[in-house]
Amino acid sequence: MSTATIEQRAAIAAPLPDVLPAIKPRRGFIGYLRKNPTIAIGGFLLLLMLFVAVAAPLLWTVDPTALAPARRTREPSAMYWFGSDMLGRDVYSRVLYGARVSMLVGFSVAVLASIIGLTIGLTSGFVRWADALVMRVMDGMMSIPPILLAIALMALTRGSVQNVIIAITIAEIPRVSRLVRGVVLSLREQPYVDAAVACGTRTPVIIWRHILPNTLAPITVQATYICASAMITEAILSFIGAGTPPIIPSWGNIMAEGRALWQVKPYIVFFPAIFLSVTVLAVNLLGDGLRDALDPRMAKRL
């Protein structure tokens, strides 16, 4: 046995902190962002786009639907920053106002699909007889490629922003439901749920207090991905003529209108394309960052 006392050992160990000063981790919001650069970059770009969407009327735009046939298909210039389209409308104003449609559709679909998916997933995770039925229906819906499903639904209705949101939401629900159900099924086996059951906690309370909070992290991550994919789907629907009505300037519509002229006037297509890509990229980066931050187990896998 060693003869050194605890104090002697401490005396030997003591100088170490002086040699190697402890790195003080930055705390608070800024520190969090520095630790997760993808959240910072994605969040910044998304806020920028959100600002553009909200403040579109203040950002030196003109009426995005105002026609000026005499000044059609102008190249980008000091007067027309992004040029003008074949009806003489200002592409810059149209692209900025287009951000509104994209944001509205993306966020609405993300929120709606999450809420409905959460409800369906919780139900089928807890009600045995409903599970088999609901999951067969979800399997069937999932075997229709989501864009086709949205296209088919849009074929039934008139083109409007509201209908686009509903169609894309329906197409996204099966995936969220599956995710929530999977989480619920694994949570049900957790010892603390058993403990709650043993204590005589009623099922609604267990769902509310023990299951729901644990589904929020994966749902949040999923919601950002849904938001990104909804923005792309909206643009695709509008691009092929099954989305928002042509009167509304959405990025898909602007590209659809620029399509006929794109070989001679490519900028009409490219400006909305850049805005759409950057916005979706921002949301995806935010999603990746949130996934890494909220669910380290998933981060390792993907």
Partner 1 sequence: MFAYIIRRVIATIPVMAVVALFVFSLLYIAPGDPAAVIAGDQATPQDVERIRQSLGLDRPFLVRFGEWVWNILNGDMGVSIFTNLPVTTMIKQRVEPTLSLMVLTLILAVSIAVPMGVVAAWKHGTWVDRCVMGFAVLGFSVPVFVVGYVLAYVFALELDWLPVQGYTAFKEGFFPWLRNLVLPAIALGGVYIALIARITRATMLEVLQQDYIRTAKAKGVDQRSILFLHALKNAAVPIVTVIGIGMALLIGGAVVTESVFAIPGLGRLTVDAILRRDYPVIQGVVLLFSFIYVLVNLLIDLLYTLFDPRIRY
Q: CB of 39: closest distance to partner 1 in angstroms?
A: 13
Looking at beta carbons only, is 104 or 281 nearer to partner 1?
281
Q: Could you tell me which stretch among 86-94, 106-114, 187-195, 230-238 binds partner 1 (CB under 8 A)? A: 230-238
- Does residue 201 bind partner 1 (CB under 8 A)? no
Q: Which two tokens stand for residue 80?
A: 């027309």
193 residue type, one letter = V
Q: What is the 3-state secondary structure (H, E, C) of 120-159?
A: HHHHHHHCHHHHHHHHHHHHHHHCCCHHHHHHHHHHHCCC
Q: Is 123 exposed, middle or buried (0-12, 13-18, 19+ CB in 10 A)?
A: middle
Subset of 158-197 contacting partner 1 (CB under 8 A): none
298: CB partners within 8 A, 6+ apart: 218, 221, 291
Residue 223 touching partner 1 (CB under 8 A): no
Q: Is 269 in the site for partner 1 (CB under 8 A)?
A: yes
Closest distance to partner 1 from the beta carbon of 198 (Å) = 36
Candidate segments 18-26, 88-96, 115-123, 276-284, binder of partner 1 by CB under 8 A: 276-284
* Binder among 137, 185, 197, 261 for partner 1 (CB under 8 A): 137
Q: Which stretch binds partner 1 (CB under 8 A): 6-14, 85-93, 133-141, 187-195?
A: 133-141
> What CA–CA distance (Å, rounded) separates 219 from 177?
10
- Asked if 288 touches partner 1 (CB under 8 A), the answer is yes
255 binds partner 1, rule: CB under 8 A: yes
Per-residue interface string for the shown chain with partner 1, residues 138-157, x marking contact by CB under 8 A? -xxx-xxxxxxx-xx-xxxx
Which of these segments, 19-27, 46-54, 212-220, 236-244, binds partner 1 (CB under 8 A)?
236-244
CA distance 236 to 240: 6
User: Quick check: helix, strand or coil at residue 50?
Assistant: helix
Task: Pick the closest to residue 165 from 153, 178, 148 (CA basis).
Answer: 153
Helices (H) and strands (E) in the chain, counts: 14, 0
CA 230 → CA 170, 172, 286, distances in Å? 11, 8, 15
Contact at 8 Å (CB) between 71 and 84?
yes
Residue among 50 and 62 whose Cβ is closer to partner 1: 50
| 236 scored as a contact of partner 1 (CB under 8 A) | yes
Q: What are phi and psi of 66, to 5 degrees?
A: -70, 125
For residues 181 and 210, which CB has a smaller minimum distance to partner 1 in the complex? 181
Q: Say if CB 82 and CB 271 are below 8 A apart.
A: yes
Q: Indicate the residue among 93 and 102 with the shorter CB distance to partner 1.
A: 102
Residues 78-107 that bind partner 1 (CB under 8 A): none
Helix (H, G, I), strand (E, B) or coil at 90: strand
Q: Which residues bind partner 1 (CB under 8 A)?
A: 136-137, 139-141, 143-149, 151-152, 154-157, 228, 232, 235-236, 239-242, 255, 262-263, 266, 269-270, 273, 276-277, 280-281, 284-285, 288, 300-302
